[in-house]
Structure 1
């Protein structure tokens, strides 16, 4: 391996960062924080970004094109490169960044599996329960999930369906379209 190989981009790196950027932009919609009451905190923002990235990765991993898995990995890599950079910019020391990154990876991994299982089953209630636990850090108390969790689950299901309908060629170019949240005024 020559020295130039160290500076060569990995396959799908640019598209992975573009898709990650689209997920972050979708997760920043003010409706999530105002209308749904998602905590506007580091944890709340991480959870929304994680949800949207999980939706993109789920779409890519389920594509029959063999490049889907590699592109999904590129999105994951982009997310955690960004998280690492953000932690360092916030002043987290080098000795602590690795431990924090490991906890963030584990949190994302567990959440993504719960979200994917609910989406694959078409179970909006199970998705709302997972969102209640993860986004609002609330334990199930029996009965239906709260309205905010149900609305976020419905939005995530719409986003998953919208991503599934997008051609792989667009995703391969780094283009993903997330549907705008259905606000109560929109539904009328």
Structure 2
């Protein structure tokens, strides 16, 4: 019997990958790299995916349904399974995969923590500051239009995800607003 346990899927595994896929699609909007000048690099892409996933995980953790945290964990697991797979596809050696994935996990966790307080308080300026530091690596000031617009989008996404019923999320349906749907920086409280 114990041997069969090795082949069982984790709870919510498929759902985690479906929701993670929605977050990745949201992070791949070309407008991020054109209008917002997010660096079209591995780091820039990781930061955008990390932001969308952090917002989704935040939503799931806040749900009163006891399944929320388990689904959030499944999304997190899907993200880092994907990161591991992509590093292998890029030819990163097996010996350094674990270290690199650990570094990515730490970076994701640190960014999610940095975004939490501004998201909780709706502080667009503080969120723009954290995004400028992480997404643009300090190359843009926090009061530049790009970090302010990304902060406005993150706040709009947080609100949008909070309004989406868990039943929709349980079907793998997560809607992430497009940049055009977010209020401009002057309206974001930044």
The TM-score, its normalising length taken from structure 2, stands at 0.92
Structure 1 unpaired stretches of 5+:
none
CA RMSD between the two structures: 1.7
The aligned counterpart of 1:72 is 72
Cα offset, 1:107, TM superposition: 0.3
- Secondary structure of the residue aligned to 2:64 is coil
Can you list the C-alpha shifts for 1:128-149, whole angstroms capped at 9, x where unaligned? Answer: 00000000000786xx521100
Structure 2 unpaired stretches of 5+:
185-190
Of 155, 159, 162 in structure 2, the residue corresponding to residue 161 of structure 1 is 159
Paired residues of 1:38 and 1:44 also in contact (CA < 8 A): yes
Paired residues of 1:60 and 1:71 also in contact (CA < 8 A): yes
Between 1:35-44 and 1:2-11, the stretch displaced more is 2-11
Which fold has the larger relative contact order, with Cα–Cα distance below 8 Å and residues 6 or more apart in sequence?
A: 1
**Runs of 4+ with deviation above 3 angstroms:** none
The aligned counterpart of 2:110 is 110
Can you list the C-alpha shifts for 1:16-71, whole angstroms capped at 9, x where unaligned? Answer: 00000000000000000000000000000000000000000000001111110000
Aligned length: 183
The aligned counterpart of 1:177 is 175
